[in-house]
Amino acid sequence: MKVAIIGAGSWGTALAMVLNDNQHNVSCWTIEQDVIDDVRNHGQNSKYLPKIPLSKEINFTMNLNEALDEAEVIVNAVPSQVTRKVVPQVTDIIKDSQSIWVTLSKGIENNTFLRISEVISEVGNIPASQIVALSGPSHAEEVSKKVPTAIVASSSNIDTAHFIQNMFKADYLRIYSTDDIVGVELGGALKNIIALAAGICDGAGFGDNTKAALMTRGLVEINRLGVKMGAKSKTFAGLSGMGDLIVTCMSQHSRNRYVGEQIGKGRPLSEVLDEMVMVAEGVKTALSAYQLAKRENVEMPITEQIYLTLFENKSPEKAMYDLMTRVSKVEDWG
């Protein structure tokens, strides 16, 4: 099939490799001239996936019309907060298309609190039944090296999820399917906030006990808000919930954990973000999640403390103290 990947970052590039392995015709669109030059001159995307050779069969282009020509599947691989701007550029070219959209973005849009599939549906006038969210514990660096990985394809239309499941699967990439796109997207977005907290633990030297507690109670928060927003509780015990949370909180590849670690060491957020090439989605998602939790009257104490640390200059030590000295409670999942 003809696939257009919108965005040639690490995950978009890694999945282009998967689809090329699966004998699909893949084009990656980017606005970054240095990426195009690197691919054409050196056969790799060293800005986002260094030292990974790319097949010459994958077409990298800055011409959106070229990338979208006859595309049957469109993969949204741009950051969450950019999606609203990019989708209309695509739909202006492929008006009234029956193409299936796959979103890789893991975030909640600021101000609107929309999941990314909802943004695509709203601004692109795309039926929800044509949209799939692909999520799970999947660092691009490892997928590009064919490290065994398992993720989830989710859509309100389970047949669409099954289609993408079969299209993307490989002997090193196992894909499950579900109709709980709400849970899959919220799990993928909210775990980045907890990864920031886990990174702060590393940077501030709080220890493994602290990180384990944050991850466990963080998953409770994710479940609370997710269920309130219409997700299935069991989804958060799966790959797009607990699985993605584990890898993002623990991995050396995790951008969100890295940002948290630097903050835990005392560096200002702006300085950390300015030096990064890739986007740490958890930062802006923390703002959305904090405001959404307030609107929905959902208790999310870890998310609240991350928000205060990121945006109101609260010290990690004071944030941890306030978490630890809250009123004692019975442990529960809700």
The residues annotated as belonging to the active site are 191
Element (H, E) at 309: helix 301-311
SS3 track for 157-184? CHHHHHHHHHHHCECCEEEEEECCHHHH
- Alpha carbon separation from 119 to 65, 126, 131, 133, 330 (Å, rounded): 22, 10, 11, 12, 38
Residue 295 CB contacts under 8 Å (≥ 6 apart), including other chains: 113
Nearest CA among 140, 142, 232 for reference residue 182: 232
- DSSP codes, 240-253: IIIIHHHHHHH-TT
Q: Which residues of 69-85 are buried (b: 16+ CB within 10 A; e: fewer)?
A: eebebbbbbbbbbebbe
Helix (H, G, I), strand (E, B) or coil at 28: strand
Q: What Rg do the C-alpha atoms of the chain give, in angstroms? A: 19
Residue with tokens 């870890």: 302
11, 105 contact by CB (below 8 A): no
Other Cβ atoms less than 10 A from the Cβ of 212: the count is 13
